[in-house]
Chain A
Amino acid sequence: MGNKLNGSLGLKRSLRNWIVVISFLSPAVLLYGIFMVIPIWEAIRLSFYDWNGSLTADLNFVGLRNYTETLGDPIFFLAFQHNVYWMVFDLIVMVLPVLLLAVMISKVKRGKLFFRAGYYLPAVLSLPVVAVLWGKIYDPLIGPINVFLRAIGLDFLALNWLGNPWTVLTSLAIAGVWAFYGLYMILFLAGLQNIDYSLYEAADIDGAGPIRKFWSITVPSLKNTMNVIISLVIINGFKSFGIVWIMTMGGPFYKSELLATYIYKAAFINNKFSYGSAGAVMLALVVVILTILFNSTREKGD
């Protein structure tokens, strides 16, 4: 009798515990499921069909056809190369230079807030505004860059920035860096505030100079922040879309085509949603693989 009662009480307790666990987990699981798992699953599922976007259209299973067609399109590979270039450019321009900027701002004695707000300003502008602004900056006839270059007699450098195949991608990437560096700068500034100041004092006593302190204290102390930023730069490098779409739509002659613009054109302009989904799945795979590679390399280094 006693055992039966104990068993029944144990079952009830276990059930209650489960209810509590589920009740705590369910909001997050529900939200994650609705907004992440289901869309991802749908994108993967659709990539095996030939859906044209119609809500009433029949879905025909086409197997891997969308993937083979995408992989057989030279423009897709060109776009991939452009994304790799964009990512590498961002890594070079966005990580160390922005860290240096953050360090300099953190060392400012007066007006720190002014510099912090001033340098962060581009990050609060919406991408269309940034794109229009830089579109005018790069204008070959009236853009300030070319006007300045012509004024100082460097006419040969006054290029057609968005029309020249050698400059268009870099010009767009610079506009992208300008739009996003503020966010990374704030992350670095937050990281800098967490560095134990006594390390710098000890280094001062040991006679270390500013460069030595930067490489031996600042950079290692910001390792976690840097990992986050590098991961974000890799991910954003492959997700770039807005600036390119507004400024060049992938032109001229595909010279600024990125994977995201390629996918957008396929899905929303040509209404080949399944084909676009296949491209999106491959893009997601590339980003996931690169992020995993980066993190595993970093962990091995640790």
Chain B
Amino acid sequence: MIRNTKIFSLLLLALVLVISACGKKESASNSPAASSNSDTQTGTQGERTLTVMLRPFPNEVEKRQWEDLAKAFESKNPGIKVKYETGDVMVETGKLTTLLNSGVTPPDTILMNAGPARVEVLTKSNLIDSMDHLYEKYEWKDKLLPFAYDMVSLKDSIYELPHMVDYIGMGVNTKILEEVGAKVPENADEFYDAMQKVKDGGYIPIALGARGGYASSWLFGQVLDAVAGTDKVRALFFGEAKWTDEPFVEALETFKKWVDEGIISKEAVSLTADDQKALFNQEKAAMVSNSPYSIAEYKSAGIDDRVITWTFPAFKEGLQPKPTGGVGFTWVMPKNAKNKDLVEIWLNFILDEYTEFLFKDPEATFIPATRKAFEVIPVSPMLGEMVAAIKGGSGYNPTVFIGNNTKEVYLQNLQGILGGLVSPQEAAKSIEEARLKDVAEGFKLK
């Protein structure tokens, strides 16, 4: 009996220790002063820290630019230190929603991949704050590019501040075109002629790595614009047209035709976006979807002197294709952010100072979503061309404007077309069914 009592006492003691340890840990983590994140909120000198979450730096150039920006902000705002955290900022992988749902103190602000469908995932789950009051207080609407503002105000309330507008066009290696006796195409006939010559010359006409899905959408978005026209694409995304309508099926058929004719290689479906970049940067392919981020890559690959940025010609009469895009990255404020006052200062700094700061850099890789972006001339000539190309507005990058059900079916069906697994008509029907499902679940752009 004494032995049993001893064992019991020992177990009880152990249990008490475990529970008290858990309790201490919990109370410690609940205490603002003791939390690991909050440790950085207020330093011993009274310095406060603003935590900013970004995507992982894709290259050293962008890393340096962000570090320089932080220094500029800190020198303008003594007492505030900027701390960057990098992580997955795409809603599609589920990590961002998991982070915000986890209960762990989130970063103060997040620069995430933009798009009404993406931001809606966070707003529906009540994970981010509305910014309506900030737009009113600081008159942000007047500082933003009008079309950037339009794109983030498609819903009843605004939950984001656009950071940069995207430009998705085509990078063209003029050296390859010259070598095979082709010129930069100005119309559909010249395009097909150039593609044939590139193929005959032993090069891949258009590099594509569709394994992750998104690269195929960047390319197809441009095909959609050049075949159906910007207005019809807009009507499609705003619920005034169906995927099964003729212009969109025709765009899907064009995509298939390019695979059948070898303009896009059949291997594209199992290549990654990195493979795509490598094919173009190693001069094995003549064309590739590009964006301002590509500028630094061209430079580091040593091909910047022979690559131009270009937009597909109209594949139907009367159309004026535009580069696609929309808002590329956008700032959001997590519901449980600790330093919302600092976020306001940061976002105002971005709107007021970022454009001049960035455009001074010859390796700038963003087009800020500010009105100033069309007033200040960037030092980088290619970025200047990109800015000029979207001055009159841009086309629509589909993944930014479609609902989540549609997005999954759309990306899978693009892969299906690339792999010869589905016909354009079947793909259009499936995507339309998914769109209707999104509409039934409440997805609608204003």
Which A residues lie at the B interface, using CB under 8 A? Answer: 16, 19-20, 23-24, 26-27, 52-57, 135, 138-141, 160-165, 168, 247-255, 264-265, 267-271
Contacts and interface: CB of A to CB of B under 8 A. Distances in A.
A270 B275 CA distance: 28
A264 B212 CA distance: 16
- Sorted nearest first, the 10 A-B pairs with minimum C-beta distance are A268-B94, A253-B416, A163-B270, A163-B269, A252-B415, A54-B125, A162-B270, A140-B267, A54-B126, A253-B421
Contacts of A252: 210-211, 269-270, 412, 415-416, 418-419, 421
A252 B408 CA distance: 12
A268 B4 CA distance: 49
A253 B412 contact: yes
B272 interface: yes
B133 to A, nearest CB: 19
B121 interface: yes
B97 A271 contact: yes
B93 interface: yes
B124 A54 contact: yes
Given A23-B8, A54-B125, A140-B271, A269 B94 contact: yes
Contact of A55 (B126, B210, B269, B422): B126
Contacts of B30: none
A249 B212 contact: yes
B404 A253 contact: no
Given A24-B11, A53-B125, A267-B94, 7 more contacts: A23-B7, A164-B419, A168-B270, A249-B211, A253-B413, A264-B94, A270-B121
Interface of B: 1, 4-5, 7-8, 11-12, 15, 91-95, 97-98, 101, 103, 121, 124-127, 210-213, 266-272, 275, 404-405, 408, 411-413, 415-416, 418-419, 421-422
A55 B101 contact: yes
Contacts of B92: 269
A26 B8 CA distance: 12
Contact of A57 (B126, B419, B421): B126
Contacts of A268: 93-95, 97-98
Binding site secondary structure of chain B: helix
A101 B421 CA distance: 38
B126 A251 contact: no
B415 A253 contact: yes
Nearest to A265: B408
A251 B8 contact: no
Contacts of B125: 52-54, 57, 271
A270 B404 contact: yes
A265 B97 CA distance: 12
Binding site secondary structure of chain A: loop
A160 B269 contact: yes
Contacts of A264: 94
Nearest to A146: B267
A248 B211 contact: yes
A162 B97 contact: no
A24 to B, nearest CB: 7
A264 B92 CA distance: 11
B416 A163 contact: no
A269 B11 contact: no
B211 A251 contact: yes
B422 to A, nearest CB: 6
Nearest to B18: A27
B165 to A, nearest CB: 25
Contacts of B7: 20, 23
B237 to A, nearest CB: 19
A19 B12 CA distance: 10
Nearest to B94: A268
Nearest to A165: B421
A45 to B, nearest CB: 18
A265 B418 CA distance: 22
Contacts of A162: 211, 269-270
A20 B94 contact: no
A253 B101 CA distance: 30
Contact of B270 (A16, A56, A161, A254): A161
A280 to B, nearest CB: 14
A23 B12 contact: yes
Contacts of A52: 124-125
B338 to A, nearest CB: 17
Given A139-B275, A140-B267, A251 B408 contact: no
B438 to A, nearest CB: 10
A171 B275 CA distance: 19
A24 B15 CA distance: 11
A293 B419 CA distance: 38
Given A55-B126, A162-B270, A269 B275 contact: no
A257 B95 CA distance: 20
A252 B213 CA distance: 9
Contacts of B422: 253
A269 to B, nearest CB: 5
Nearest to A248: B211
Given A53-B97, A54-B124, A165 B419 contact: yes
A264 to B, nearest CB: 7
Nearest to B210: A252
A59 B341 CA distance: 32
Nearest to B417: A253
A247 B7 CA distance: 52
B101 to A, nearest CB: 6
Contacts of B103: 55
Nearest to B416: A253
A20 B7 CA distance: 8
B97 A160 contact: no
Contacts of B404: 269-271
Contacts of A168: 270
Contacts of B1: 16
Contacts of B421: 165, 252-253, 255
A30 B422 CA distance: 52
Contacts of A270: 121, 404-405, 408
B150 to A, nearest CB: 25
